[in-house]
């Protein structure tokens, strides 16, 4: 009976860790544009180049700015059936793999549109008529450094 109680307590202690999914790196994205919209006025917001790192566990997405791993925004995925986009000069819509996710906290609603190519983050402050839009493009994945080729020595002549 005591052994069974120990096993039960061990399982209860491990339950949060067993249920928690690991976040894996999805991609890195470089800030391309950042602007605010108020009524009909669009105002660019000058920003230094920022790299955003994105990771996911399949139900949530974490977005962190490079160099500030403690500050992150967590989004809940609500659509994963693709993103519709229209190419310039075309009338048809393409559906590409991607997700849409939301984050709501501190009176601010954030919407994330994420594909392997880019992400668009739209921020709606609660008591403001402004909308902030952040657009970032995927950075080239770092390629593994090839191992040096072995040097073949010239055949030995006797």
Strand partners, 135: 33, 120
Q: Parallel, antiparallel, or unpaired for β 68-79 and 108-114?
A: unpaired
Average pLDDT over residues 29-55: 93
Q: Are 101 and 110 in contact (CB under 8 A)?
A: no
Q: For 137-151, how does the pLDDT look when each residue is reduced to its tens digit (9 = 90+)? A: 999 765 444 444 444
Reading the block at residue 124, the tokens are: 């709606």
Which pTM does this prediction carry?
Answer: 0.72
pLDDT > 50? residue 15? no
Q: Parallel, antiparallel, or unpaired for β 68-79 and 99-105?
A: antiparallel
From the list 130, 132, 125, 121, the residue with the least C-alpha distance to 63 is: 121
**Angstrom distance (rounded) from CA 125 to CA 110:** 8
Q: For 111-145, how does the pLDDT look when each residue is reduced to its tens digit (9 = 90+)? A: 999 999 999 999 998 888 899 999 999 997 654 44
How many residues are present in the chain?
Answer: 158
**Helix, strand or coil, per DSSP, at residue 18:** helix
- Residue 11: in which H helix or E strand, if any? helix 2-19
Q: Where are the domains of the chain?
A: 20-138
Q: Which CATH number fits domain 20-138: 2.40.128, 3.40.140, 2.60.40, 1.25.40?
A: 2.40.128
Q: Are 79 and 100 in contact (CB under 8 A)?
A: yes
């Amino acid at each position: 009976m005591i052994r069974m109680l120990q096993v039960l307590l061990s399982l209860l202690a491990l339950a949060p860790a067993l249920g928690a999914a690991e976040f894996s790196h999805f991609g890195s994205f470089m800030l391309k544009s950042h602007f605010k919209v108020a009524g009909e006025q669009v105002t660019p917001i000058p920003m230094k180049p920022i790299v955003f790192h994105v990771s996911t566990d399949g139900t949530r997405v974490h977005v962190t700015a490079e160099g500030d791993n403690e500050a992150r925004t967590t989004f809940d995925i609500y659509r994963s059936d693709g993103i519709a986009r229209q190419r310039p000069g075309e009338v048809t819509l393409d559906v590409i793999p991607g997700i849409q996710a939301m984050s709501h906290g501190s009176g601010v609603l954030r919407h994330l549109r994420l594909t392997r190519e880019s992400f668009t983050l739209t921020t709606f402050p609660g008591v403001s008529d402004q909308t902030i839009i952040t657009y970032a493009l995927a950075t080239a994945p770092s390629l593994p450094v090839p191992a040096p080729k072995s040097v073949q020595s010239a055949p030995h002549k006797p």
